[in-house]
Chain A
Amino acid sequence: MAHFVDRRLNPKDKSLSNRRRFLKRVRSQIKQAVDEAVRERGIADVDRAKKVSVPTGGVSEPTFRNARTGGRHEHVLPGNKTFQTGDRIRKPPRGSAGGAGKQGSADGDGEDDFLFSLTREEFLDFFFEDLELPDLVKQSLKEITRTHPQRAGYSTSGSPANINVGRTMRNAMGRRIGLRRPKSREAEELLARITQLETLASPTAEQCAELATLRARYDEITRRRKIVTYIDPLDVRYNYFQQRPEPNANAVMFCLMDVSASMGEREKDLAKRFFMLLHLFLDRRYQKTDVVFIRHTHDADEVDEETFFYSPQTGGTVVSTALVKMNEVIAERYPPSEWNIYAAQASDGENFNGDSTVCAAVLREHLMPVCQYFAYVEIVGEDEAQLIRSEETGMELWEAYRKVAEAWPNFARKRVARATDIYPVFRELFARDHEGKANG
């Protein structure tokens, strides 16, 4: 006698710890792949799973084995068609791909790279790593948005509480009609007639025959009524609910960047991480997040992401143009009553002489009153960062923004030389979020 065990409900992810061990092992390759993804991906799709390929060398499991070449090998193969004993087959020249062919990779994936994909969580872990986020923030950024159940048709399985009575009865009736289930009234009438006949003291032969047919008919009807039940499990329908993400308020994120020649590859890469982090934050908090890219030299225009990061442009630097442009876009498409407005500005801190006061004025008068948060990063070289230690001193734009920061608590500014420096810009933003959560 066999013993049957249902193991399907056993705890899952038994191999999770093996997986972690493996990821730890190939850390450096994953890091590389994640950096690459950060460069290639759009700001909005940073949090997707990622395929990573690791050269087999890093994760090989060597053992002593015989080489494939050298010495004499003899194999038995199936499927001879035309060969005769003693036939000689010219070997393909060394190093050509076709020769070793399938036989070469008989024992596995051969020498190809080992390919696997990271989950969204794992990817974000690596992405956060050099941003040095506090754990709490990491956790809350990885959280998927809240959902609520929404009606989405019917299903054949579900919990009894969700039975849809109307549907179920309709199905049952259809089935009863289709399978010709005798009505209960019919049965009652027969029974009444039978009782009536049975009570007769001296029935005629005719009546006896009728009684017999009626009884047979009655039995048949009861049997059919048993087979074709009134309600069958087949008929039951349940209301089906789908988990829909909570519709939340909308947010728009403005990315402002100085694209004059002084912003090089490194600066743009840092700026991109800065934008990505803010986007991750918004994406979690708001159901719909629009991103607007505004680049500027001495003149500002709204562009798509590709152009924003990769298209070179030359010209002077007038920062206020970007702010003015942002103000225009808000007026045109994003009424502050319906949209939460966030802005992230990246620049190397240079500005046209005298323009910085204009910037401060635009911010004070137009933008800060409607913005939830405005983050400004000044991207500097690492050696420069060593020189300018103090937050107090800086170039004209920095100085001008200092006054704005004093007046508005939701304005943050920071000098950034490394990826590590980015998070502190948002520190307050994330901190406020936690308070909000604790209160709400």
Chain B
Amino acid sequence: MASRATSAAGDLLFDQTDWDFDTLRRTYDAIEEVARKDLELDFYPNQVEIISSEQMLDAYSSIGMPLMYHHWSFGKHFLGHERLYRKGARGLAYEIVINSDPCISYCLEENTMPLQALVMAHAAFGHNHFFKSNHLFRQWTDAEGILDYLEYSRRYIAGCEERHGTDEVEAILDAAHALMPFGVFRHRRPRQLSLQEAENQRQARLAAAEQNVYYLWNTLPSRPDAAGVTDAALQERKRKMQLPEENLLYFLEQYSPILQPWQREILTIVRNVAQYFYPQKQTKVMNEGCACFVHYHILNALYGAGRLTDGAMLEILHNHTNVLTQPDFDDPRFSGINPYALGFAMMQDIRRICEEPEDEDREWFPDIAGKGEWRHVLKDAWANYRDESFIQQFLSPTVMRRFRMFSLADETAAPFSTITNIHDTRGYRRLRDALARNHDLSSMEPDIQIVDADLLGDRCLHLQAIRRDGVPLHAADRDATMKHVERLWGYKVELREVSADA
């Protein structure tokens, strides 16, 4: 009996449910080997941190970040999560992973050893690879600097609270949080002024100051072509302030007539945090799909090599399936398409198309069908797509049939909702378009831009919301948010909702 135990221990990574740091390290190394040699993943160095459930709740409530400045809304989320957790209505996430270099994954201490293996494969390799390779993250987030930046912002805001009082700071943060989704650059980075431009700006300020001395000149009756002048002035303003501007926080931070320097800095902080999370919002399906695909592949490889016991693998699969359940639309548990399920199904299907395609797949995906290089295809997808384009490109009829997808259109005026497409030959492409649109942030979030602000005139800030498909803004929220914009701008603010066709 003793001999069997020793020979088994050589292969098995662990044979009990309790974990300790040695087992974690051994398992990590085994997972890393598969990730490097088999999947050829590219990832940041890993830092795995074990935390308690309370710390997990903490991390939850401050949007998943380990260090965050203080704000009442995080307290509110904490209480909300805590209540659900204590009631048993919601389990805790097994892990939280942070897009940083080194990549930090938080694992819950209550996880059993099989679960820890699952979580490490999922977070420390799946998510990590995605963070490091996806173009959105590479372009928009600074994995090396984020923790330092958060530390800086927490200290800065605490300092502001000491100097200006918590209420003042809270008011600015409330307003900034309200505009957080509109504090991101969707298409461009803010332009850094060149030295020449900075010099020009300084000169212009000087000139403006001198201009004030000649106030007497301004009392002269206006010239006859006043309309032309204002029009030209508007053009000039638009050019200078780069209007229209979609990043409301950026604009307010730059041009608000009333904000103090520290208030502007707080807006910058909130804006930068929003920008940091923007890629995550755009790649939910892909990010989770990638992580699930990776953990599934790695753990199956380990199991195949006889390094996991049957029991451990069963527990892993049990949790895997729990996460990947997609309830039907009429199921009481239904709450939208599960990004984990969709992403995982699509990625598994890509592999299938590469390895054993059917005629349909050859027709739909001539480039990859039957080529066999699924690793390459997947890595390319992970690197170069976001949810919307990924679905547009890779959602196959097989997956649509498996999910039994259909699209439902709803016009407010009509007494009926209409089934526009189902998973049949006619519907596949349009269904795919619709699902891609549902995952396109720019069509799910309102499109609001700053179109004009005459700083020398009445200082009224003009916002414009473009209604797509005639969908208006949520009225109560709109009015409450406008109050926040007014607080930051200090003068009148007007919002016009225009239809997209106009």
Q: What is A's interface to B at a CB cutoff of 8 Å?
A: 1-8, 10, 12-15, 17-25, 59-81, 83-91, 102-103, 105-106, 109, 114-117, 227
Contact = CB atoms under 8 A, between A and B. Distances in A.
B315 to A, nearest CB: 22
A23 B79 CA distance: 10
A14 B427 contact: no
A59 B72 CA distance: 9
Count class of interface residues, chain B: 35 or more
B50 A8 contact: yes
B437 A74 contact: yes
Interface string B289-331: 0000000000000000000000000000000000000111111
Interface stretch (B177-185, B224-232, B450-458): B177-185
A107 B326 CA distance: 17
Contact of A67 (B62, B109, B474): B474
A277 to B, nearest CB: 28
B438 A91 contact: no
Given A78-B405, A79-B330, A85 B478 contact: no
A70 B335 contact: no
Nearest to A19: B75
Contact of A21 (B54, B71, B411, B415): B71
B470 interface: yes
21 contacts: A2-B25, A2-B45, A3-B48, A4-B47, A4-B49, A10-B55, A12-B55, A15-B74, A18-B72, A18-B75, A21-B71, A22-B73, A64-B474, A65-B445, A67-B473, A70-B412, A72-B471, A73-B469, A76-B407, A91-B410, A115-B83
A178 to B, nearest CB: 15
Contact of A62 (B404, B420, B477): B477
A104 to B, nearest CB: 10
A64 to B, nearest CB: 5
B408 A75 contact: yes
B25 A4 contact: yes
B111 to A, nearest CB: 12
B409 interface: yes
A68 B473 CA distance: 9
B204 interface: no
Nearest to A78: B403
B405 A19 contact: no
A102 B335 contact: yes
A18 B182 contact: no
B477 A8 contact: no
B75 A76 contact: no
A4 B414 CA distance: 58
B180 A7 contact: no
Given A17-B70, A22-B76, A25-B72, A80 B47 contact: no
Contact of B417 (A5, A7, A91, A115): A91
B406 interface: yes
B110 to A, nearest CB: 11
Given A4-B48, A72-B411, A64 B62 contact: no
**Top 5 A-B pairs ranked by shortest CB distance?**
A79-B328, A22-B75, A71-B470, A18-B75, A71-B471
Contacts of B47: 2-5
A80 B50 contact: no
A306 B280 CA distance: 57
Given A62-B481, A73-B471, A21 B424 contact: no
B83 to A, nearest CB: 6
Contact of A64 (B51, B444, B471, B478): B478
A38 to B, nearest CB: 22
B365 interface: no
Given A2-B124, A71-B472, A85-B419, A77 B406 contact: yes
B438 A76 contact: yes
B140 interface: no
A132 to B, nearest CB: 24
B426 A85 contact: yes
A75 B328 CA distance: 14
A20 B170 CA distance: 13
A80 B335 CA distance: 15
A70 B472 contact: yes
B474 A86 contact: no
B52 A8 contact: yes
Given A2-B47, A8-B52, A64-B473, A74 B83 contact: no
Given A4-B21, A84-B419, 15 more contacts: A6-B49, A18-B70, A18-B71, A18-B78, A21-B166, A61-B174, A62-B478, A64-B478, A74-B438, A76-B407, A76-B435, A79-B329, A79-B330, A114-B80, A115-B83
B411 A87 contact: no
A22 B55 contact: no
Nearest to A93: B415
A71 B408 contact: no
Nearest to A61: B73
Contacts of A79: 326-331, 334, 403-404
Contacts of B423: 80
Contacts of B335: 102-103, 105-106
Contact of A63 (B28, B49, B180, B332): B180
